[in-house]
A and B are shown apart, each in its own frame.
Chain A
């Protein structure tokens, strides 16, 4: 191989390296100014007002008002219902818990998104942008909470999930569900404030709560935080997710990419040159 073809090769490699380089999986680590919501499940009465408020604020169909039917089995958020309240039979009797996007501090979905359609905003809400999304559903595969939902029955499908009322926040309002909650089971604020409040509640009534806040450390911290009278597994919350932020799972692989992109071609060209010289063969 001559110098010119070596240059050509490195040129091509260089061009491809540019596109694979900057890896900013975790540049917003634990930002204390992210906003979130504290859910105190000891206060929730299961009235489902938050479900109605969510539907109205986001133009979704009104939820079914038959409470007994709705509580019969555990529901998951869906394309038409971004927030659902479930009833759980626990050690201390019936406990209600709301389920929606957790707005992770370092979201797997936004890391997985190759078009930045799923975006962690600087204020904290994770939003989805229609004009960017190509519908690959990698966010769904990656999300540890199985939150993003896809419209399988539409030729122009969207990803549907809670946006923490992003538009309302811009106008200085609170998320619709928080505003409508009659029991003050939901509390809106910055993560830092909410963690302080949650801890003081646990200290104030140590017998009422388990001494943990779900979301403080789970998957590197989430915007939604849960207080519970029973272990979190009993409220349908996964406790096997670990405390490492999800982007860390792919970080090592992505860091290896620029290294392989630069070292591998040099190695290959070197070997190719060595084997060729030995045989005095210049044939392409």
Chain B
């Protein structure tokens, strides 16, 4: 593919119909035979077959879920871990739009897109896990509002947050379609969507933790705490930013041609900034964990197998990456930051799986572990998300700069003009 061609869709389709433009854009760009495609296509196809079996024969046909373990990998990993990983979007938009830290502007779009797709696919994976998914509209359309339920709150927030994220991303779609007036209108909604989005994120990141509050008698005391909501929220900051660092590493290789020199150069600086925020968030998280540990008088559990497992999570995958982040911010080593980000991500997976599966009913004799089919379908969901992500990044200005007409508009902000003048200008666009 050539970047030159990619940069001009807006101008190119000035006369031709939108429909024809969309049809042309639907076609794959670049080679179909790539390593990623060869791996992901069979995974997605097999996933589709397994899902057909799951929907015709029931959840028991592909999963190891049981009466004792009603929630397994699809909730514990896909939804609960996936949403924590998507936390980068609200943190980055907070930094850029609320705190006005312009340094991070180049990564806003890709992060928001990642967040949006993560919600669509991973929160969407919830539908695969629902026994009676056709009733999923019930809590939305209002024939039965279970307002005392934490899950009710989480469901609504997922829905509203997806809309907010889409609004945040929509200027990129307008730029791709060359719709100048629409772009301006949508860009005007950005701050509102960001504020709503951060608020919703605060509540549903913590809400995912609050789901487990009523499982008090079932979760190991080292993981159960009335502070789970706050712990989930604080850890989602580190989780989201580590994902941004990790994803950025890959994107900058795969989509190298789309990224201009300036962005390439500023990227290391951005990563260092993110590492600093990560380190602080993890320090706060560790402090809260320790506070909870001391208040809960949980020393007695430390010298048990679950206690060693707890220490593995806290020391190996929170304390060590936190120290690595702090150290690498000082030395400026990007490689070390990436390593710390990966350790953090593993730590988040461990923590979420511990709360939802591993430390959940740790006393049972027959434990839950996922079937290969549950893992396969999870991989298929991830692969499909990457496909859509790639499709969008190859077409819309996500990593590359916006088309020139956007920057022109930004450079010459209409100074004190009359309403008539603005109208006149808009009509000539």
Q: Which A residues have a C-beta under 8 Å from some C-beta of B?
A: 1, 5, 8-9, 12-13, 16, 19-25, 76, 78, 108, 111-117, 131-138, 140-142, 144, 146, 149-157, 238, 240-242, 246-247, 249-250, 252-254, 257, 260-261, 264-265, 268-269, 271-272, 275-276, 278-279, 281-284
Contacts and interface: CB of A to CB of B under 8 A. Distances in A.
Contact of A111 (B68, B135, B214): B214
Contacts of B150: 112, 250, 253-254
Interface string B187-216: 111111011101110110011001111111
B148 A247 contact: yes
Nearest to A78: B67
A114 B149 contact: yes
Taking chain B's interface residues, is the majority helix, strand, or loop, or is none over half, making it mixed?
helix
Given A12-B192, A13-B195, A284-B187, 5 more contacts: A8-B192, A115-B138, A142-B214, A152-B63, A264-B198
A254 B211 CA distance: 11
Given A16-B160, A142-B215, A113 B71 contact: no
B70 A134 contact: no
Nearest to B410: A283
Given A157-B58, A241-B217, A152 B65 contact: yes
Interface residues of B, number: 73
Contacts of A133: 131-132, 135
Given A1-B191, A157-B131, A271 B214 contact: no
B216 A249 contact: yes
Contacts of A76: 67
Interface of B: 55-61, 63, 65-68, 70-71, 94, 97-100, 126, 129-133, 135-136, 138-139, 143-153, 155-157, 160, 187-192, 194-196, 198-200, 202-203, 206-207, 210-218, 226, 229, 410, 413
Contact of A146 (B67, B160, B198): B67
A150 B206 CA distance: 27
Contacts of A22: 147
A242 B216 CA distance: 10
Contacts of B194: 268
Contact of B210 (A5, A21, A253): A253
Contact of A20 (B97, B156, B218): B156
Contact of B136 (A134, A149, A154, A281): A134
A153 B62 CA distance: 10
B68 A146 contact: yes
A100 B260 CA distance: 66
Contacts of A260: 199, 202-203
A136 B130 contact: yes
B131 to A, nearest CB: 2
Q: Which of B99, B150, B189 has the most CB of A within 10 A?
A: B150
A137 B75 CA distance: 11
A132 B148 contact: no
Contacts of B71: 137, 141
A140 B69 CA distance: 9
A246 B99 contact: no
A55 to B, nearest CB: 18
Nearest to A281: B100
A1 to B, nearest CB: 6
Given A114-B155, A250-B210, A283-B410, A264 B149 contact: no
Contacts of A156: 132
A114 B214 CA distance: 14
